[in-house]
Amino acid sequence: MRMMLALIAALAASPALADAREPILLRDMGSFHVGGRLVEVKGQPVKEIVFTPGGVPAKLDPNGVYQVEQMYAQYFLVQNRKGRLPLLMWHGGGLSGVTYETKPDGNPGWLNYFLRKGWDTYLSDAMERGRAGWTDKFKGDPVFLPLGDPWERFRVGPIGSWNDDKAKRAIYPGVQFPLDAYEQFMKQGVPRWTTTDDQIVAAYIELVDKVCPCVVLVHSQAGNFGYRVAEARPDKVKALVAVEPSVPGTKDKVAALKNIPIMVMYGDNAKDHPRWGKIRQNMVDYVGLIKGAGGSVDLIDLPDIGIKGNTHMLMMDKNSDAVAEVIQKWLAGKGLVD
Amino acid sequence: MRMMLALIAALAASPALADAREPILLRDMGSFHVGGRLVEVKGQPVKEIVFTPGGVPAKLDPNGVYQVEQMYAQYFLVQNRKGRLPLLMWHGGGLSGVTYETKPDGNPGWLNYFLRKGWDTYLSDAMERGRAGWTDKFKGDPVFLPLGDPWERFRVGPIGSWNDDKAKRAIYPGVQFPLDAYEQFMKQGVPRWTTTDDQIVAAYIELVDKVCPCVVLVHSQAGNFGYRVAEARPDKVKALVAVEPSVPGTKDKVAALKNIPIMVMYGDNAKDHPRWGKIRQNMVDYVGLIKGAGGSVDLIDLPDIGIKGNTHMLMMDKNSDAVAEVIQKWLAGKGLVD
């Protein structure tokens, strides 16, 4: 009763129930790892390890069976559900589920937005990233990004605009990324490989088998993963929202997507960008193939509907709620909101 | 209003308000990265990278400034607060904040336990682990653990008890670890280094400076981190709960801890274990030094208070709620629960 009174008092103190201040009421929350496989290592010498200076040494026999290639998911199940299916949000390359949490400028991100709209929401760290863990058994070397790379590649400023000196960085006019939080954003980065897509997709398929039917929202690198998982599980992915997808799905499998409503969204300065222009055109061509197979795709260029200044990291831009609202309304239009 | 009615209906449907089924009401939740530093890389050749097969190539200039050594924290702020200070829970070596989330057997872990008890709770991924990211600039090689290593080192079974064949594994009699979930537990592992303690502590100090005064609960490797951070910030760490700590703090700095109530807890089979017996004895000696400097430490061996069968991973054992209750009561006894 005390809990309920406190809640009622809190609600009363916020008569307008402004979304961003509304409490988040969960019937449950939790996390799990899913997918992966076991690999065996043989013939290595036994080591003695002091894990912490001053600690008691431990024998480590590196021979044996290892768990590799699993992924991580964290879920928040709302008390007052309005989304008709679970909403899964998949991050882009070199990042983790943190993408959708608090924005680098400290304001609420899309996780809290969609929870407050009544969606059971699953964030995940793809195989290899973040809490999924990683292994020395991947092929090739991991990629690490210097500060300036995403500034230009994610369209905060045009190519050549980065400068280590904050005062000398150029930007796109009216850009919505919170410039003072750029270094904070770069703290979210995690190493990535370029050889692991198949393992990532395999783990996502296991995630979908576990928690779907669902809506899948993907960003950037995960665009390709979303399409590929939908090809493999067209009965379980009931809608696909591809936010700034970087690579299409499998061209000869578009027929599998014909019953899945799809939205593709790009921000500002994509069409004419030397690299993003090509990426977007590849996606336009791919969307044409899906439509040709009888599918339904809405391709939205945000500036064309009056939402300007968005970078590749739409969910962190200052107007991220306005972008999320476009998605929420589209999902409602597909009958996925009660 | 609809939200409130739904909530009241849900509460009414659960008249006993059994803890594990009680909704989790949050006034807010979010995450952030904190700490770290910038390092510069020079003289490397520019590369062209295809991030995803079939994608548009990108130029990557690896020269420039890199963000390294930050850490990650995720917070859940309860609607009906009863803990008088934020509760920070720090994981052990080769693991992440996932340690305190859903247990490998699917039951609620200590995060949900303490949220339902009314604590504002911060989980974190230490510098280097999980969502903190990692860098190729650490010294030495990362450590990867085969399946059998924690089985013995974390006291599920005695030394020599592991077998890759499930049916042939030996256990300690009455062990509380959920044996069928052992492989699931191993999916939570992340690589670790043995050279990075100072950077981990530096980031934890920044975390404490940001969110404390607080209660800090540490596990295993983080025992050492908890002591060291408390030495550096004795005014901000208002209580320290060291769960199965593996390494003491700094012996000549125990005077800094004299005003901090400390609980040290070990599970079953620690005293007589070839390695844990030494670890525990080091801790007994260290506790003696703290007490000699005027400090207050309660060292609890769980089997001595009738709680038997606990492994090193107390928070994942089947009786994890009973162990958490010991901590909750101790915190209440220190005046930290309203």
pLDDT digits over B176-189, tens only?
Answer: 999 999 999 999 99
Task: State the pLDDT at residue B52.
Answer: 87
Q: Mark yes or no for CB contact B149/A61 under 8 Å.
A: yes
Identify the CA nearest to A298 among candidates A266, A251, A262, A255: A262
Residue A38 burial class via C-beta count within 10 angstroms: exposed 0-12, middle 13-18, buried 19 and up: middle
pLDDT tens digits along B191-215: 999 999 999 999 999 999 999 999 9
pLDDT tens digits along A266-322: 999 999 999 999 999 999 999 999 999 999 999 999 999 999 999 999 999 999 999
Q: Mark yes or no for CB contact A247/B183 under 8 Å.
A: no
- The pTM score is 0.94
pLDDT tens digits along B263-283: 999 999 999 999 999 999 999
In the structure, what pLDDT confidence band is assigned to residue A5 with cuts at 50, 70 and 90?
Answer: very low
Asked if residue B334 has pLDDT above 60, the reply is yes
Residue A325 burial class via C-beta count within 10 angstroms: exposed 0-12, middle 13-18, buried 19 and up: middle
In chain B, residues with a C-beta closer than 8 Å to the C-beta of A42 are none
In chain A, residues with a C-beta closer than 8 Å to the C-beta of B42 are none
Across chain A, mean pLDDT equals 94
Identify the CA nearest to A146 among candidates B137, B308, B172: B137
Task: State the pLDDT at residue B38.
Answer: 97
Q: What is the ipTM of this complex?
A: 0.93
For the record, the structure tokens of B60 come out as 């990557």
Q: Mark yes or no for CB contact A56/B282 under 8 Å.
A: yes
Task: State the pLDDT at residue A54.
Answer: 86
Pick A146's closest partner by Cβ from B29, B41, B79: B41
Q: Mark yes or no for CB contact B130/A134 under 8 Å.
A: no
How many CB atoms within 10 Å of residue A284? 15
Asked if residue B11 has pLDDT above 50, the reply is no
Task: State the pLDDT at residue A135.
Answer: 96
pLDDT tens digits along B49-93: 999 888 999 999 999 999 999 999 999 999 999 999 999 999 999
Task: State the pLDDT at residue A19.
Answer: 61
